[in-house]
Structure 1
C-alpha cells in the first residue's frame, strides 16, 4: 500500500478536467446518509465481489492511522488491489480533486469540504457519513501549563495552536470557542490537525485543539483534556466515490468497505463515534 504526501498533488490540474457544471446537493441526504447497505452493496463487503487494480483514496489527515489499516485490510480482502492514500487537510484535498487530480475516493473530515466537491459535479452519487469526531484539548505530557478546560487556553502566557479556519478542525475549534465565549489569539494556524498536534509534541505550544482520535494515536506523547463545549462542534465524516475515478469498481468497493462492520470496528477502536 502506498501513501502520497498531500503537497505532491497540490498543483493546478489539466483545464480539460475542470468541471463547470454544478450539481444540486440535497444537504439532508448528505448529512443523514448512514452506514447501512446502499447501492454500493452489502455493508459487510465490497458489494461487487473482489476488485483489483490501484485505488487512490484522498482522506483527511485525521484518518491517517485508521485508513492506513483499512487500506491494508481492503487489499487482503481483494487480492490484486493496491490502495494508495493521500492524506492532507480536507480543504486542500477538495481543491486538488476539483483541479483534476486523479483520485477514486474522497473521505472528508467535514460536510463543507465535501460540498465543495459535490457542487463541482465531481462526486459519483451521494456522499454518506461513515464516522464522527469530537475535539479535545491536547497538552504535553504532564500538562505544564495546567490547562483544565477551554477557558484556560486564553490565559496569560498560554501558547495555543489551532487549525486554520478553512480546515475542519479549525472550523470546529472556532465553533467551540464561540460557544464558550472564549477569545484567544493562537501563536500558529496549521493547515491540518496533525500540524497542530505536532506543535504540542515538540513542546512549541502549551495546548492545541485537535480531535480525540489524534490524541489517542499519539499514545503517551500528549494528553487529552475533555471540555463540554466540544459537543457543539462534532464533525461528520462523509465519503464518496468520485465521478472520474480511474478505477470506478475499486472506488465503490472501498466506500462500501469503509461502511462495513469490520471497518466500523476499526474506526471505533481509534476513537471515532458512529455516524
Structure 2
C-alpha cells in the first residue's frame, strides 16, 4: 500500500511539473533573430513586448544563414524567425527543407555602413579619404562576418565586387580583405560591436541599426552602393511551440509602438511585403501585415 501511495505521489508530482513546464512555455516567446539586431531586440523590443503583453521574450541571435541551418537541423526550436535577407527564408521553405516557413514579410531595411573606432589611428583617414583608400592602409584591422553564415558577410563581399568594377580596381577586394574566409577578419556577427568598442578592431562593416543603437561613428557609403543593405523579414515558424505567442510578437513588432522602436534603432521601416503562401498567414495577422507605413 505504501509503495502504491509513493508511486501515486510520484505520478501526481510529475504531472504537476509537466503542467508547470507547459504553462511556463505558454508564457515564453522564443525569437531567433539576425545578430545585427542584438541590442535592439534585447534592450528595446524585448522589454517593451513583455510590458505590453505580459509574455516573456527569449531571444537567440546569430548569422541568419547559421540560424536557418540550426532550424533545419532541429538543433534549436523557436516561434519566430527574423532574418536580414529574404533569400534565407527560401532555405526553410518546401518539403526538402523541412517546411519550416510557409510565408514571410519583409518589413524594414538597414544600409551597410563602415563603423570605426574614433580612437583608432586610422579614424582621420576614414573621415578624409575615400572609403576604399582608407580601408586598404597597411596595418588597419577590419572586422566582418562570415559570408557563408551571415547575409551581412555576403553583402560585404558583394560591396567589394561592385567597388572593383566601379573604381576599375580589380585587386581591391584582395588588398582589403584577402580571402573571403580570411580568419583574421571573419568573426561572429554578434561579437563585432564589442570587439570594435574594445579597441580590437579599427573598423568594420555594420548595418545602420548597429551603429545607431551602439553610438558607433560611421561612414556612409556613396550612393552607388545604396542597394546593398539588410532587408529584414519576419515569420512565425511552422510547428512553433508557442504559435499564439509568436503571432503576438509579430503583431507587436509591426504595431505603431514596435515600428517606432525600429526607427529609434536606425532602421528604415517599410510597408510589409509578403512572400510565400500568403493564404496560410493566420487571420489575426493579415490585417497587421496589410498596414501601410505612414509618412
Settle same-fold status: TM greater than 0.5: yes
Q: Deviations along 1:27-55, whole A, 9 cap, x unmatched?
A: xxxxxxxxxxxxxxxxxxxxxxxxx6211
Q: Deviations along 1:62-116, whole A, 9 cap, x unmatched?
A: 112222222222222223x211111112122111111222210000111222222
Q: Report if the CA contact (8 A) 2:113-2:206 is conserved.
A: yes
Match of 1:170 in 2: 153
Please give the residue correspondences for 1:170-189 in structure 2 after superposition, counting only pairs within 5 Å.
Answer: 170-181=153-164, 182-183=172-173, 184-185=176-177, 187-189=184-186
* SS of 1:274 mapped into structure 2: strand
Structure showing the higher helix proportion among its residues: 2
Match of 2:199 in 1: 203
* SS of 1:205 mapped into structure 2: coil
Match of 1:147 in 2: 126
Q: Deviations along 1:187-243, whole A, 9 cap, x unmatched?
A: 310121x32333322222321111111112222xx4111111541311211110011
- Mark the runs of 5 or more structure 2 residues left unpaired by the alignment: 1-25, 165-171, 179-183, 271-295
Please give the residue correspondences for 1:70-149 in structure 2 after superposition, counting only pairs within 5 Å.
Answer: 70-79=45-54, 81-100=55-74, 101-119=76-94, 120-145=97-122, 146-148=125-127, 149=130
Please state how far the C-alpha of 1:143 moved relative to its aligned partner: 4.7
Asked which structure has the greater CA Rg, the reply is 2
Q: Do structure 1's residue 55 and structure 2's residue 19 form an aligned pair?
A: no
* SS of 2:192 mapped into structure 1: helix
* SS of 1:67 mapped into structure 2: helix
**Partners in 2 of 1:158 and 1:124 — Cα distance?**
41
Q: Report if the CA contact (8 A) 2:92-2:99 is conserved.
A: yes
**What is the CA RMSD across the aligned residues, in angstroms?**
1.9
Q: Report if the CA contact (8 A) 1:122-1:244 is conserved.
A: no
**Partners in 1 of 2:191 and 2:115 — Cα distance?**
12
**Partners in 2 of 1:205 and 1:169 — Cα distance?**
17
Please state how far the C-alpha of 1:255 moved relative to its aligned partner: 1.3
Match of 2:10 in 1: none
TM-score by length of 2: 0.69
**Partners in 2 of 1:90 and 1:67 — Cα distance?**
15
Q: Report if the CA contact (8 A) 1:150-1:177 is conserved.
A: no
TM-score by length of 1: 0.74
**Partners in 1 of 2:242 and 2:131 — Cα distance?**
45
Please state how far the C-alpha of 1:124 moved relative to its aligned partner: 5.0
Please give the residue correspondences for 1:36-55 in structure 2 after superposition, counting only pairs within 5 Å.
Answer: 53-55=27-29
Q: Deviations along 1:112-171, whole A, 9 cap, x unmatched?
A: 222222242444541001211111111111452122443121223322111111211111
**Partners in 2 of 1:196 and 1:65 — Cα distance?**
12
The aligned length equals: 220
* SS of 1:200 mapped into structure 2: helix
